[in-house]
């Protein structure tokens, strides 16, 4: 009861000070936009500027997937097992055509495409998205340590925009990097006979959704963290299980049942599946509609939770 009186008294007492500017006070000329999204682009742009102004980081981040693509994709030449004269059974004279036919069928059956390199190239697109998203949490840890986060929070920028800008910049970075990987893969011999504009657009849409979800998850993990080492440890702990527990490197049919079950809930599998269906014309593990629905739900759920947590956790 008395609380209320105090609050009212405060208002009455101070309100005039807010209304009438003192002489020489220029604050009344301050124009502040009322849009709740102001600052979102400024924050996103800041992240992007730091990134594209430092091409070394971009190059370094591309090295790993390109190495995987080059070494893994070219060395694991599964197709070669079954091609001309790859093997012969003593006493049986199997015509080469039959062996080749058999090989093609086996490859199509297991990988959905006749060459492993193309199969892996699509998987690498998801890989680069996952890696970029994992490190998106690091920037918020740095911002907190350097005091930048506090500085931003003392401005009227919406708390949700702070998290959203980090997610957006991570999505944009991922897509740029994925484009570069795709071009490199084509140059290295990826099968492009089935590529269409719609296929490329659909693939990138799925990658964007994947990036949204994962960036939100890793940002949430970093919201209260002040220690970049913890964040690094979490990233190292999760990256390989997430990658190998998906169909990005190998088809799920290779795997034991318990791992297949994990592949089925891992969103990376769905983004990769979309890519393989739309870029390579391969048969997938689900329909395109289901894959997209799954990824959309994944992205939406974690972005919303991320924004809600940012309201709670950013202000202590």
Query: Can you give the binding site for another protein, defined by CB under 8 A?
Result: 2-3, 5-7, 9-11, 13-18, 22-27, 29-35, 38-39, 41-43, 46, 49-50, 53-54, 144, 146-148, 150-157, 224, 226, 315-316
User: Toward another protein, which CB reaches closer, 5 or 229?
Assistant: 5
- Whichever of 150 and 287 has its CB closer to another protein, that residue is 150
In the bound state with another protein, the residue whose beta carbon lies nearer, of 50 and 74, is 50
Nearer to another protein, 54 or 101 (CB): 54
Shortest CB 147 distance to another protein, Å: 3
Q: Which is nearer to another protein, 50 or 96 (CB)?
A: 50
| Calpha distance 119→40 (Å, rounded) | 37
DSSP per position, 229-281: HHHHHHHHHHHHHHHHTSTTTS-GGGS-HHHHHHHHH-HHHHHHHHHHHHHH-
Beta carbon of residue 304, minimum distance to another protein (angstroms, whole number): 21
Query: How many residues in the chain?
Result: 316
Q: What angle do CA 27, 31, 35 make, to 5 degrees?
A: 140
Closest approach of another protein to the CB of residue 85, in Å: 57
189 CA to centre of own chain: 25
302: its two tokens: 């974690």
CB of residue 139 vs another protein: minimum separation in angstroms?
A: 11
Q: What is the dihedral of CA 255, 258, 263, 264, to 10 degrees?
A: 120
Min. distance of Cβ 60 from another protein in angstroms?
16
């Amino acid at each position: 009861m008395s609380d209320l009186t105090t609050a009212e008294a405060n208002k009455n007492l101070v309100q005039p000070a807010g209304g009438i500017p003192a002489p020489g006070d220029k604050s009344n000329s301050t124009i502040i936009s009322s849009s709740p999204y102001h600052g979102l682009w400024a924050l996103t742009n800041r992240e992007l500027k730091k990134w594209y102004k430092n091409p070394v980081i971009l190059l370094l981040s591309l090295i790993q997937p390109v190495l995987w693509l080059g070494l893994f994709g070219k060395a694991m030449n599964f197709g070669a097992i079954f091609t001309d004269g790859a093997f012969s059974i003593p006493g049986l004279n199997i015509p080469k055509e039959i062996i080749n036919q058999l090989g093609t069928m086996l490859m199509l059956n297991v990988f959905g495409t006749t060459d492993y390199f193309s199969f892996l190239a699509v998987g690498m697109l998801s890989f680069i998205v996952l890696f970029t998203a994992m490190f998106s949490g690091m920037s918020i840890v740095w911002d907190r340590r350097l005091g930048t986060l506090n500085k931003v929070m003392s401005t009227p920028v919406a708390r949700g925009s702070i998290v959203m800008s980090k997610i957006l910049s991570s999505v944009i970075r991922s897509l740029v990097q994925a484009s570069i990987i795709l071009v490199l893969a084509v140059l290295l011999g990826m099968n492009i006979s089935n590529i269409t504009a719609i296929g490329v657009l659909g693939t990138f849409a799925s990658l964007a959704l994947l990036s949204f979800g994962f960036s939100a998850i890793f940002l949430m993990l970093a919201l209260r963290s002040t220690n970049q080492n913890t964040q690094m440890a979490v990233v190292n702990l999760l990256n390989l299980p997430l990658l190998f527990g998906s169909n990005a490197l190998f088809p799920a049919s290779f795997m034991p049942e318990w791992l297949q079950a994990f592949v089925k809930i891992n969103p990376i599998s769905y983004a990769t599946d979309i890519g393989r269906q739309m870029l390579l014309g391969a048969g997938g593990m689900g329909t395109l509609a289901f894959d997209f629905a799954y990824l959309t739900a994944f992205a939406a759920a974690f972005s919303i939770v991320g924004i809600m947590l940012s309201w709670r956790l950013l202000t202590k």
